[in-house]
A = this chain, B = another copy of it.
Amino acid sequence: MKKTLEGSIAVAEAIKNCEPDVAACYPITPSTHIGEHLSEFFANGELKSYVNTEAEISSIAALIGASAAGGRAISVTSSQGLAYMHESLFCAAGMRLPMLIVVGNRSLSAPLSIWNDWQDSIAERDSGCMQFYAENNQEAVDLAIQAFKISEAVNLPAILGMDGFYLTHSVEPLDIPEITEVQKFLPKRVSAVKLDTKNPLTMGAYAFPQYYQGFRQDLHKDLLSAKTTIKNVHNEFAKQFGRKYGNGLIEEYNTKDAEYILISMGSAAGNAKDAADELRTAGEKVGVLRIRCYRPFPSEDIAKALDGKKGVGVFEKAYSMGAVPPVYADVSEAITNCKSRPQLSSFVGGLGGKDVTVDSLKILFGKLKKGVCKEWV
């Protein structure tokens, strides 16, 4: 049954239905509402534990502790808050601790801006955490539930990106899986590797040079093979709940016969689909490839989808200052081995809340036809 409610509340309800053991949050716009609702569930006895931390670095530390103790752990943050977790994200991933961090994506200071872009989570792409970006609030709800399951299956943290304000503050009719259904999909977390006085273990040992690289290599390998887990969990979810998002890693929208393709993530990808629809009506062979899972990066799926296309553009809300945009760079590398490598363009926009309109995206498709283009839009 659908309820009309704010994306943040919907995600909070989904999280509640996943029955986490510990939620630890610190307020920051635009993700605050999620934490607020979790704290309300706690005040009503519907959530086991809610920690009002004194800073985000302690939120993630609490998650590290809770996950190490075998619990299901969740935090919510944005922007400066995620940045404040930077050191801890590498650590949580390296310690192989499952947890979910919902990020209401927002730009990074300076200048301070409370509005949406992806720089906050994109800047954590090396960390070993998985990264998902929801196109809409229904997907955010569904991803929250999937992300717990994936994270606990592969023993790595998951970041779930929701476009700040666009998703977090939108009120719309949404379907929130019932707790009984969620329980079937996502059983209680069982972990053999945990802090347990009956079965002691030392977690977080340090590694001499003869060991360190091996740990990193393993982490990378496990992240790569998480792609299979992500697809499987996505399929399971689709089977039980009837909602599907591409193949779990990417979503192809009218790409099969398309000559020109725009790649994007999050809500911008939805707007790109609208743009593509309008152009299709006008007879243009255009499509959209949405990256749903940014880490691990689905390079094979992307290369396959793009092989032989005439022109491809990546539209993203982030930059690697003094170099090239991150998603574009990843895609560029992924398609090196295409039999017929498409011409690849890069568009950066929507930073700090600059609204990404369907019209502006239509223009980008036009640019693809004219050859390679690298632009701020």
Contacts and interface: CB of A to CB of B under 8 A. Distances in A.
Interface residues of A, number: 73
Q: Which of A113, A123, A299, A321 has the most CB of B within 10 A?
A: A321
Interface stretch (A15-23, A35-43, A199-207): A199-207
Contact of A323 (B84, B107, B319, B330): B330
Contacts of A213: 349-352, 354, 376
B319 A324 contact: no
A214 to B, nearest CB: 9
Q: Report copies per complex.
A: 2
A220 interface: yes
A340 interface: no
Interface stretch (A85-93, A185-193, A274-282): A85-93
Contacts of A321: 93, 126-128, 216, 219-220, 223, 295
A254 interface: no
B86 A90 contact: no
Interface string A82-106: 0110110011111100000000000
A352 B208 CA distance: 8
Given A87-B80, A322-B295, A332-B336, A212 B351 contact: yes
A113 B319 CA distance: 30
A108 interface: yes
A130 interface: yes
A154 to B, nearest CB: 11
A111 interface: yes
Interface in A109-146: 109-115, 119, 122-123, 125-128, 130
Interface of A: 80, 83-84, 86-87, 90-95, 107-115, 119, 122-123, 125-128, 130, 204-213, 215-217, 219-220, 223-224, 226, 295-297, 299, 318-324, 326, 328-330, 332-333, 336, 344, 349-355, 376
